[in-house]
Structure 1
Amino acid sequence: MSVSAWKVIGASGFVGSSILTRLKIDGIEADPIEAPRLATSQRDANQIIRDARKLEDIIDSLADSFAGAEVVINASGLAAPNQQDIAPLLGANALLPAVIAIAAQRTGVKRLIHLSSAAVQGPRPVLDDSPRTEPFSAYSYSKALGEDVLLRIADYVEEKAAAGVAPGSANSSFPAAPSFSPASVSAHHALETCVVRATSVQGAGRRTTESFAKFSSSPLASVAGSGSHKSPVSSSYALAEFVSMLGQFSGELPRIVVQPWEGTTCESVIVDAGRRRPLHIPAPLCTVAVKAGYALSGLLNDRLQGSVRRAEVMWFGQDVDDSWARENGLLPQHRVQEVLRSAHLGLGKKYDRKFKKDK
């Protein structure tokens, strides 16, 4: 794909700003686009799509911003793992992606890269690129619903494009956008949609990264058993580089792809973020604690789901099946160690006296 204008929605956010910076490093022209704020109580994917199609003013506004773009990156969304108010989450993480996809198709955009979260697969042993999801919280549910919505839109668009009535084309019942200056959309044009499941992304200035560094620096920092399990903890730098690689990829992208593993283990991320050795708790004891935590959360209307899940990942990690990225050579530079060590330094803490600096 030739490099031309790219658009980044949510470029002022944590992930979006990292992507915009990476694109500049790669010599790619990219324009930031502010994400509209939406809310919905709908939980049916098809109804969300129908509601999105009715938002013609917002579709027009986004389509006007997409004019001339080949690649649109949706880095917007509401990252609130502990939030219980579902309407803003569904609006930002499900309804808005639908509106973006509709506007992109009807403006003739070639490729849409949507930033999702590996949280949609919950406690599954291995994160992968299958459409199967196991959301465990309001946040992960909203992100999973957003994926479902985009996959349904992609199926519909490909079906109509194959029939020569692609949305936005002359023979389609869905007109080109924006309505005041319609784009020219081919009868067989189909927006290519790729959902990126970001793992546990850390970076400078992120509150969760600072919190993780504080916890890792404390005597409570711990792992289950040997601590050698793979950890999905990753860096914003690697995610941004991976997204840039996907946008420039000359072949066909998969519908879903997982952010590549950065070589971390449960123990290594605590050592880097806390500069101390973690406690090694027997794995069976950790398993009992996690089950008890989920049971207690259930009694409290799932209010503790996010916290329990974070403890589970800290102790047991989660494997990452990034085979597609590896097979295609799309492996960004590992920078998570740098991010975590910088977070520790930002706390102004000293090395633990039992920690050997040369290790």
Structure 2
Amino acid sequence: MTSSTSSSSAPEPIWAVLGASGFIGSSLQAVLARAGITVRFVKAPRLSARSTDPAGILAEAAELHDIRQDLAGDLAGADVVINAAGLATPAGADSPELRGANALLPVVVADAADAAGARRFLHLSSAAVQGHRPVLDESTDVEPFSAYSRSKALGEAALGARKAGACPVTCLRATSVQGAARQTTASLVRIASTPLASVAGRGDSPSAVSSVDALCAFVLAAGRYPGEVPAVILQPWEGATVASVLLAAGGRKPLRLPGWLCRAGLKAGYALSGLLGERLHGTLRRVEMMWFGQRQEPGWAEATANVPEPRVEQVLRAARQQR
């Protein structure tokens, strides 16, 4: 394990982070360190899950006594535990490893955080659990559409079904997070720089594309919050539209396509993907988000004045300049 230190004479709070070597985890470490928080890196065990339902996941978690004990030891003394580990494979197929990383691991970590006496456990989930819903919100209503989104929804459901302990659990749904070092962002920049960059209609639909800067600031705010944090919170909208995202990423105005044509193309594409075992679902969803975006209902962040400074367009422009 590694930790960052501060010159402050007052004791620093300790936050334990699983998945600190990943894209979000590594960005989060820098933000927490600047906030005067000692970051303890905890290695996430690699798990596989047989089950596809919450009850089965909980039963499998109960069997992992030794792993839970080891994790509790690693988390001892931590004020806040953040699970940023998992498999981010939007186009991947279902597998025991995918369910293990995105559904079973969060339950095991929640149990370990409770045993370690942590004040709060934040599990980084994904807004993908609500799939094609026209409006994202903080309800438990989910519509997963792919193996990845189903595994994340399964993790949320299992956490919601476990017997609550002294350590409160919050699932923080990240939206379409972008950063200069992320391959997904590089792909977005490439597409936005070509004539393929297009939007449905006028292009003024809200986009759920967001920045890793704002996500990390939101995690910090949720972890520090002195009051109760709901079981599900949604990363706030950063004010971008589908057209402004493409303009920032590609430096050119996107082509405007008729909405009916875009819907017809997506309907045909999803039908074909269904015949291929959902192989194209991830790609089609990215196209759908590029064309139509997705609205977000204001939630906990807005109600408690914990909305981070919007950074998505700056992040996209920086990624374009690094290309």
TM-score range, shorter chain: over 0.9
Taking the TM superposition and a 5 Å limit, the aligned residue runs for 1:244-255 are 244-255=220-231
**TM-score normalised by the chain length of structure 2:** 0.95
Residue 4 of structure 2 corresponds to which residue in structure 1?
none
Amino acid at match of 2:321: L
Q: Is 1:112 equivalent to 2:121 in the alignment?
A: yes
1:128 CA displacement = 0.5
The answer to whether the Cα contact below 8 Å between 2:49 and 2:60 also exists between their aligned partners in 1 is: no
**Deviation per CA, 1:192-229, whole angstroms, max 9, x where unpaired?**
11100000000021100000000000011000000000
The answer to whether the Cα contact below 8 Å between 2:233 and 2:299 also exists between their aligned partners in 1 is: no
Name the CA distance, whole Å, in 2 between partners of 1:336 and 1:126. 20
Residue 311 of structure 2 corresponds to which residue in structure 1?
335
Amino acid at match of 1:344: R
**Deviation per CA, 1:306-359, whole angstroms, max 9, x where unpaired?**
111111111000001133211101011111111101111122xxxxxxxxxxxx
Residue 269 of structure 1 corresponds to which residue in structure 2?
245
The answer to whether the Cα contact below 8 Å between 1:53 and 1:102 also exists between their aligned partners in 2 is: no
Amino acid at match of 2:258: P
Residue 25 of structure 1 corresponds to which residue in structure 2?
34
Taking the TM superposition and a 5 Å limit, the aligned residue runs for 1:48-127 are 48-127=57-136
Residue 302 of structure 2 corresponds to which residue in structure 1?
326
1:228 corresponds, among 204, 209, 213, to: 204
Name the CA distance, whole Å, in 2 between partners of 1:99 and 1:218. 45
Name the CA distance, whole Å, in 2 between partners of 1:102 and 1:236. 28
Amino acid at match of 1:119: A
Residue 24 of structure 2 corresponds to which residue in structure 1?
15
The answer to whether the Cα contact below 8 Å between 2:12 and 2:36 also exists between their aligned partners in 1 is: no
CA RMSD of aligned residues (A): 1.1
Name the CA distance, whole Å, in 2 between partners of 1:31 and 1:204. 25
1:191 CA displacement = 1.3
Amino acid at match of 1:312: E
Name the CA distance, whole Å, in 1 between partners of 2:67 and 2:299. 37
Moved runs in structure 1, 4+ residues, more than 6 A? none
1:3 CA displacement = 6.3
Name the CA distance, whole Å, in 2 between partners of 1:151 and 1:25. 32
Name the CA distance, whole Å, in 1 between partners of 2:106 and 2:207. 28
Amino acid at match of 1:39: S
Amino acid at match of 1:342: A
Name the CA distance, whole Å, in 1 between partners of 2:12 and 2:174. 24
Residue 137 of structure 2 corresponds to which residue in structure 1?
128
The answer to whether the Cα contact below 8 Å between 2:103 and 2:152 also exists between their aligned partners in 1 is: yes
**Deviation per CA, 1:32-61, whole angstroms, max 9, x where unpaired?**
111111112211211111111111221111
Equivalent residue pairs, number: 313
What is the aligned-residue identity percentage? 51
Name the CA distance, whole Å, in 2 between partners of 1:337 and 1:34. 33
Amino acid at match of 1:150: L
Q: Counterpart of 2:77 in 1: which secondary structure?
A: coil
Name the CA distance, whole Å, in 2 between partners of 1:199 and 1:144. 14
**TM-score normalised by the chain length of structure 1:** 0.85
Q: Counterpart of 1:106 in 2: which secondary structure?
A: helix
**Deviation per CA, 1:65-105, whole angstroms, max 9, x where unpaired?**
11111210000010000111421110100010011011111
